[in-house]
Amino acid sequence: MRKMGIFNSIHVKFVLIYVMLILLALQIIGLYFSRELETTLKKNFTNSVQDRINLVEFSVREEMLKERTSDDPSPEASLRTVLSGFSSDDINEVRVIDSKYRIIASSVLDHQKTQIGQKSVDDIVKRAIISETPSSSVILFNKDIRERVLTQALPIMNGNEVIGALYVESNIEKVFDQIDEINRILAGAAAVSLTITIIIGIFIAQTFTRPISDMRRQAQAMAKGNYSRKVRVYGNDEMGQLAIAFNHLTNQLLESHSTTEAERRKLASVLENMTDGVISTDRKGRVSLINDSALGMLGMTSDLVLNRPINSILGIEKEYSFEDLVETRDSIPLDFSTEDQPSILRATFSVTQRETGFVNGLIVVLHDNTEQEKIDMERREFVSNVSHELRTPLTTMRSYLEALADGAWKNEEIAPAFLNVTQTETERMIRLVNDLLKLSRMDSKEYELNTEWVDFNTFFNSIIDRFEFSKSQKVSFRRIIPPVDLFVEVDTDKLTQVIDNIISNALKYSPDGGIVRFNVAVLEDSIRVSISDEGLGIPSANVNRIFDRFFRADKARSRAMGGTGLGLAIAKEMINAHGGKIWAHSVEGEGTTIFFTLPYEQHDDGEWDV
């Protein structure tokens, strides 16, 4: 999971929001408090100065209107005396200006020498005299003393006549110093309270975020498949109820996961052990699941199959689209045969869909019909071969019997020959039926081997001797048989029939002057017997088929010699019943060798046994 940044943490966000809210509240409170404090202090200072100005204005008006004698001091001197009595720390200067804007008195001694008799240039004085009303208080910055001052102008009235104006300059800088001091105290208190608030906010945030962090860790563990962890319940509030619900959800998910996993394993086991191939697709027809049986039938690997279209995998993309397969209700035959090995499959399609009818995909079941097709083909071929083998002698017999019925039996020269042919064909049919009965019993396992221990070399030599005694003088025998005792447990009657059939075929197909060779070799766990002739041989394409029923490499010659085409098929069944194997090797024009093996085991003490 991606690492979470510090500012993405809900804990930090909670504290930041909490602190921002406190800061906002403190800012609003501070601004309101500072503004109201400044307004109040200014108002109080202004009122205080105004009260004193009113007294000054009364005294100055009395002095300006006073009737003077020659002994009385001048008006300027009287006004200076009056103004000096009102000097204080709050009031920097008081000036008296007559109606013609001439400064006639000042409370500042330095200004008495420089400004007396000068015209006043202050706008508020002119406005006060002209408007005959007190001017508004104005705060200015005095460059001389580098402080803020409060200036006011008050007209001096004599009835309805303006006789002058009073200009007052007050030291309001102390008020601002008080405001700044109070603001510093307020800022310090806000900083302390904010610090305490942050600490408290961190603990409060932990109260909310600790259960959330536990749930986050639990969710991460659940995503990795760990359902053993539990979220700690810190209380009975909403967060506690959420933690209880989360733990309950964990238990439910654990049960659901266990059930799903068990079902998945069952399904995987079923699919793995099914002999039929199973393929599942998504809603677009792409392969999403395939079992090993299907891969084996298709001769592919999973990386070549997954996420590919199903009709392409089955080799039917030209005949069927995915929509056609969804609508298909009948199974479809598939031919994956090669030159070396046949492979006939049958595909059955089943649609998977939701309750709303939306198609989720297809389930394709592949059944291997190769053996069934082979059995059906062999059955048809067997019936055809039996019919053909019986039809030939029956046709011959019918012809000769019709001739005898038409009067040939009266001819002493022809009748015996006709009867001899009929008898020969009858015996041939009897041999054919007997061979078929033998094969039938072997196929149905309705026979038992009557085994006994025999010395195979002595047994094999006796059979060869019998054929050598009755053979034509134009074929010779050669034996390569080790001079040791090889005891094996076999059914001598059935093994004799096998060897007789092989030697008979070797004699039939050996040319005049040919040699039939007999060989016995001892292998690790068996003995291998081979019988070779020097006949015409068998084409390489037919070597593996000579053990099939009714197969003849040379059909005309086999029938002429009375063969049924079942001898080697019977020999194969009998050797297999003994636990051995039989096969052939042939080179066309050079001859044929028939090999078969029998189980054999040599003991450590030198004795030989099965």
pLDDT tens by residue, 89-124 = 677 778 888 878 788 877 776 666 667 777 877 778
Check: CB of residue 214 under 8 Å from CB of residue 231: yes
Helix (H) or strand (E) holding 367: strand 359-368
Long-range contacts of 386-390 (CB under 8 A, 24+ apart): 386/432, 386/436, 386/550, 389/432, 389/550, 389/564, 389/565, 390/429, 390/432
pLDDT, average across residues 26-53: 81
Helix (H) or strand (E) holding 583: strand 582-587
Check: CB of residue 541 under 8 Å from CB of residue 478: no
Check: CB of residue 294 under 8 Å from CB of residue 277: yes
Look at residue 361 and tell me whether its pLDDT is greater than 70.
yes
pLDDT, average across residues 434-438: 66
Token pair listed for 15: 């504290």
Token pair listed for 418: 């006709």
d(CA 348, CA 359) in angstroms, rounded, equals: 17
Side by side, the strands of the sheet bearing 515-522 are: 476-480, 515-522, 526-532, 591-599, 582-587
Pick the closest to residue 337 from 367, 315, 366, 370 (CA basis): 370
- Give me the percent of the chain exceeding a pLDDT of 90: 3
Q: Residue 218: exposed, middle, or buried by beta-carbon count in 10 A (0-12, 13-18, 19+)?
A: buried
Q: What is the pLDDT of residue 517?
A: 92
Q: By mean pLDDT, which of 310-319, 382-391, 551-560 is the weakest?
A: 551-560
Check: CB of residue 174 under 8 Å from CB of residue 42: no
Long-range contacts of 552-561 (CB under 8 A, 24+ apart): 554/509, 557/508, 557/509, 558/508, 559/392, 561/508
Q: What is the pLDDT of residue 528?
A: 92
Look at residue 335 and tell me whether its pLDDT is greater than 50.
yes
Token pair listed for 6: 């510090």
Q: Give the pairing type, strands 147-158 and 476-480.
A: unpaired
Q: What is the pLDDT of residue 529?
A: 92
The number of helices, as runs of H, and strands, as runs of E, in the chain is 16, 19
Pick the closest to residue 569 from 413, 439, 405, 407 (CA basis): 439
pLDDT, average across residues 371-382: 69
Give the number of other Cβ atoms within 10 Å of residue 240's Cβ: 15
Q: What is the pLDDT of residue 179?
A: 83
Which segment, 44-53, 116-125, 232-241, 358-367, is predicted with the most confidence on average?
358-367
The answer for residues whose C-beta is within 8 angstroms of residue 142's C-beta and 6 or more apart is 92, 148, 149, 169
Look at residue 185 and tell me whether its pLDDT is greater than 50.
yes
C-alpha distances in Å from residue 39, one per residue of 36, 56, 157, 176, 512: 5, 25, 30, 11, 146
d(CA 136, CA 138) in angstroms, rounded, equals: 6
Q: What is the pLDDT of residue 598?
A: 92
Q: Determine the longest span between alpha carbons in the chain, in angstroms.
A: 213
Q: How many alpha carbons lie under 13 Å from residue 256 in its C-beta half-sphere?
A: 7
pLDDT digits (tens, 9 = 90+) for 142-182: 776 677 888 888 888 887 788 888 888 887 778 888 888 88
Q: How confident is the model at residue 44 (pLDDT cuts 50, 70, 90)?
A: confident
Q: Give the pairing type, strands 476-480 and 515-522.
A: parallel
Vertex 504, ends 499 and 506: CA angle to 5°?
Answer: 95
Amino acid at 150: L
Q: How confident is the model at residue 71 (pLDDT cuts 50, 70, 90)?
A: low
Q: How confident is the model at residue 69 (pLDDT cuts 50, 70, 90)?
A: low
Q: Say how far residue 560 (Cα) sits from the centre of its chain.
A: 71
Q: What is the pLDDT of residue 1?
A: 46
Q: What is the pLDDT of residue 408?
A: 77
Q: What is the pLDDT of residue 565?
A: 62
Q: By mean pLDDT, which of 306-315, 439-448, 536-545 is the weakest?
A: 439-448
Look at residue 261 and tell me whether its pLDDT is greater than 50.
yes
d(CA 10, CA 209) in angstroms, rounded, equals: 7
Helix (H, G, I), strand (E, B) or coil at 489: strand
Q: How confident is the model at residue 557 (pLDDT cuts 50, 70, 90)?
A: very low
Q: What is the pLDDT of residue 313?
A: 85
Q: How confident is the model at residue 549 (pLDDT cuts 50, 70, 90)?
A: low
pLDDT digits (tens, 9 = 90+) for 485-518: 889 988 888 788 888 888 888 888 888 888 899 9
C-alpha distances in Å from residue 446, one per residue of 37, 277, 409, 496: 122, 35, 45, 20
Q: What is the pLDDT of residue 472?
A: 65
pLDDT digits (tens, 9 = 90+) for 265-300: 887 777 777 778 888 888 888 988 888 888 888 888
The answer for residues whose C-beta is within 8 angstroms of residue 52's C-beta and 6 or more apart is 86, 88, 90, 91
d(CA 532, CA 523) in angstroms, rounded, equals: 19
Identify the residue with better confidence: 474 or 379: 474
d(CA 421, CA 427) in angstroms, rounded, equals: 10
Strand partners, 353: 359
Q: What is the pLDDT of residue 36?
A: 85
Check: CB of residue 416 under 8 Å from CB of residue 424: no
Q: How confident is the model at residue 560 (pLDDT cuts 50, 70, 90)?
A: very low
Look at residue 595 and tell me whether its pLDDT is greater than 90.
yes
pLDDT digits (tens, 9 = 90+) for 207-221: 777 777 777 777 878
